[in-house]
Amino acid sequence: MSTDHDAAGLKASILVEALPYIRRFAGKIVVVKYGGNALAGTSEHDALSLFAEDIVLMRLVGMRPVVVHGGGPQISDLMKRLGKETEFVDGLRVTDAETVDIARMVLKGQVNPQIVAAINVHGHYAVGVSGVDGGLIRATARDERLGFVGDVTEINPEVIHGLLDDEFVPVIATIGSDINGQAYNINADTVAGAIAESLGAEKLVYLTDIEGLRRDVADAASLIRQTTADELDQLVADGIIAGGMIPKVASCIHAVRNGVGNAHILDGRIAHVLLLEIFTDSGIGTMIKGLHGTTGLQGDDA
């Protein structure tokens, strides 16, 4: 019986620890960028199920999660199956009309409904949209030679606000369109930041396959628990942050300087990493503090 009591006490203490966070984040919007690479630590299906549970829990306790996803590997896979070669111009990958159609099919027609379905196993929560729906993401060509690779020119978040007001979880495929209805493929990391800004999100979260940012790439002990946009500017300038992390980090910097509470780089390989970040005192991964954000570490500034 004392074991029972101990277990009960532990359960109770964890619930009590979560309490101030539930209060703090009630009604707050959290934009989560979910990428294929975040799933590396476990089988894809299980990772998606765990992620879906986290999203549902966040929504159930009154938060308003928004999921943004890309799907690079899946696009490459379908292109390969269709025997479609990628063209290059001056060494840069070109997204021709057929490629952007394939990207749209994969993102909106394959990855998006998989995420929606995984969430909706728990109820009628998620609704998948792309940037074409309700004019959500207005885009323009980045460089004509690259074809239909787009930059975001405008976010029209009415459709997202409508879904959130109806208590749905929007799941967003990062296809945008120009004024003529032409589709563009857009970097999902960048879209996540732009969406978070347009919604005035409390948190912008990138699920990745790294533990977090490091001050010394070679030294696991140099993991950055908490930092600022200014420090990140320096780390980028110094070349410490590089490669595929650049769009994420640039979006984090821009977001926290434009009204988003905090930004987070989390390790998507840890089960329920979203819950652990949000509902526990210790936090996890790397947090970039915004001007108005609340800190996940101390948990006492409500």
> Binding site membership for substrate: which residues?
71-72, 93, 185
Tokens describing residue 97: 């009309």
CA–CA dist 55, 57 (Å, integer): 5
C-beta of 194: minimal distance to a second copy in Å? Answer: 16
> Rule CB under 8 A: which of 282-301 touch a second copy?
284
- Interface segment toward a second copy; rule CB under 8 A; list 107-115, 143-151, 235-243, 293-301: 107-115
> Rule CB under 8 A: which of 247-266 touch a second copy?
none
User: Which amino acid belongs to residue 265?
Assistant: I
Tokens describing residue 153: 């020119």
| Per rule CB under 8 A, count of chain residues that contact a second copy | 73
Report which of 129, 202, 138 is spatially closest to residue 171, judged by C-alpha positions: 129
Selected binder of a second copy within 175, 188, 196, 260 (CB under 8 A)? 175
User: Interface with a second copy includes 2 (CB under 8 A)?
Assistant: no
Q: Assess whether 72 carries a catalytic annotation.
A: yes
Selected binder of a second copy within 92, 179, 246, 291 (CB under 8 A)? 179
User: Interface with a second copy includes 9 (CB under 8 A)?
Assistant: yes
Q: Which of 108, 203, 248, 289 is catalytic?
A: 248
C-beta of 258: minimal distance to a second copy in Å? Answer: 22
Residue placing its CB nearer to a second copy in the complex, 16 or 218? 16
> Rule CB under 8 A: which of 127-156 touch a second copy?
127-130, 132-135, 156
C-beta of 257: minimal distance to a second copy in Å? Answer: 27
Selected binder of a second copy within 35, 53, 99, 289 (CB under 8 A)? 53
Residue placing its CB nearer to a second copy in the complex, 80 or 145? 80
Tokens describing residue 286: 């790397």
User: Interface with a second copy includes 162 (CB under 8 A)?
Assistant: yes
Burial of 44 (0-12, 13-18, 19+ CB in 10 A): exposed
Selected binder of a second copy within 15, 89, 92, 297 (CB under 8 A)? 15
Structure-derived torsion over alpha carbons of residues 209, 260, 20, 172, reported in degrees to the nearest 10: -60
C-beta of 51: minimal distance to a second copy in Å? Answer: 12
Report which of 102, 98, 203 is spatially closest to residue 147, judged by C-alpha positions: 98
User: Which amino acid belongs to residue 290?
Assistant: G
Q: Assess whether 285 carries a catalytic annotation.
A: no
Residue placing its CB nearer to a second copy in the complex, 81 or 144? 81
Residue placing its CB nearer to a second copy in the complex, 91 or 124? 124
User: Interface with a second copy includes 73 (CB under 8 A)?
Assistant: no
User: Interface with a second copy includes 218 (CB under 8 A)?
Assistant: no
User: Interface with a second copy includes 205 (CB under 8 A)?
Assistant: no
Q: What per-residue string of b and e applies to 93-114 under the rule 16 or more CB within 10 Å gives b?
A: ebbeeebbebbbebbbeebbeb
CA–CA dist 211, 153 (Å, integer): 32
Query: Which positions are annotated as active-site residues?
Result: 33, 36, 72, 189, 248
